[in-house]
Amino acid sequence: MLFLLAVVVYPMGYAIGLSLQYYRVGGFAGLHNFAFAFQDRLLGASVRATLLYVLIAVGVEVLLGLGLAVAVHRTIRSAAGRTLAYLLFIVPMVTPPVAAGVIFRLMYIPEYGILNVLLHALGYQGRPILWMSSPSMAMFSVISVDVWQWMPFVFLVLFAGLQAVPLDVVEAAAVDGAGGWARFREIDLPYLRPLLLLVVTFRVTDALRVFDHVQVLTMGGPGAATEFLSLYLYKIAFKFSNLNYASALALYVVIVVSIVFAVVNRYLSEEMA
C-alpha cells in the first residue's frame, strides 16, 4: 500500500493540483486548463496524428501477427522450428525503443541508408528517396518501427492461443471437408477472440503513449506531422515549462484510457463467461 501511494496516488494527486493552477502566476484556476484544451488547435492536430498512427500501426500489427501465427501453427510442426520462430520474434521486442529508432534512422538515411542502396541495386535509377521529408513518408517511417518491434508480441500471444484449440475438433472439421479458411473462421477465431481483444487493448494503450523512437527518428516533424500526443505533452511540459496545462492534458489521457479499459474489461468478462 505504501508503494502504491508513493508511485501512483501521490503523483496523480500532484498532477491534479497542478492542473487546477494558473501557469507561472499560480493561484486556483479551476477548470481553465481543461477548457483551454478545446481551443488548442495544435492539440487537435496532435490528437488526429496520434489516432491515425494508432489506427494504422495497431491494425497492421494485428493483421500481420494473426496471419503469421496461423501460418506458423499450420506449417511448422517440429519443436525445433517453433523454438526458432519464438527466438526470432522475441528479438525485436527486447530491443530498446531508442536503439530501434537509431537503427531505422540509419536505414532511412537518403545517401547511404540500406533501403535506398537496395532500391538502387534492384534497378531504381531515380533520386534517393527522402524517407522522412514529407508528412506521409515520416508517418510511414515511424509506423514501420512500431510494426517491426511490436507485431511479434501479437504473434506470440495469438500463436500461444492457437495451441489451445482442440486438435480433434480441427481434424474432424478437416475430415468433413472444411477448408483452411472455414476452419479458421469457425474454429480458430472463436478461441482467439478474447485474446485478440486483449492484444488490441494493450497495443492501443501502448501506441497512445509512443515517444522514444519517434523522438529519435523525426522529433515530431516534418512540421507537426508526427508530433503525437506524448511528444506534444513533452514539449508543453519540458520545453515551455507549462506543467499546469500538461497535467490537465495528461489527466484527459488517463480518463480516456480508463474508459477504454472499463469497456474492454466488461466485454472481455462477457466473452470469458
Give the residue extent of every domain in the chain.
Answer: 2-272
DSSP letter (8 states) at residue 218: T
Q: 164-172 long-range CB contacts below 8 Å, 24 or more apart?
A: 164/191, 165/191
Q: If DSSP codes are grouped into helix, strand and coil, which group holds residue 28?
A: strand
- The answer regarding whether domain 2-272 maps to CATH 3.20.20.210 reads no
Q: What does 35-64 look like in DSSP terms, one character per residue? A: HHGGG-HHHHHHHHHHHHHHHHHHHHHHHH
Closest CA to 61 of 181, 161, 158, 136: 158
pTM (2 d.p.): 0.89
Where helices occur in the chain by DSSP H, the ranges are 2-4, 10-19, 32-36, 41-75, 79-94, 97-107, 114-121, 135-162, 167-175, 180-183, 189-208, 212-217, 229-234, 243-272
Instruction: Count Cβ atoms within 10 A of the Cβ of residue 70 and give its class: 0-12 exposed, 13-18 middle, 19 or more buried.
Output: buried
126: left (phi over 0), alpha (psi -120 to 50) or beta: beta
Q: What is the full per-residue pLDDT of the chain (273 aa) written as tens digits?
A: 889 888 888 999 999 999 999 988 888 999 999 999 999 999 999 999 999 999 999 999 999 999 999 999 889 888 888 889 888 999 999 999 999 999 999 999 988 889 989 988 888 888 888 888 889 999 999 999 999 999 999 999 999 999 888 878 877 887 777 788 888 888 888 888 888 888 988 899 899 889 999 999 999 989 889 999 999 999 999 999 999 999 999 999 888 888 888 887 787 766 655
- Picking from 228, 234, 271, the residue whose alpha carbon sits closest to that of residue 55 is 228
123: left (phi over 0), alpha (psi -120 to 50) or beta: left
**pLDDT at position 272, please?**
59
Q: What is the DSSP letter of 241?
A: -
Using DSSP's 3-state secondary structure scheme, residue 193 falls into: helix
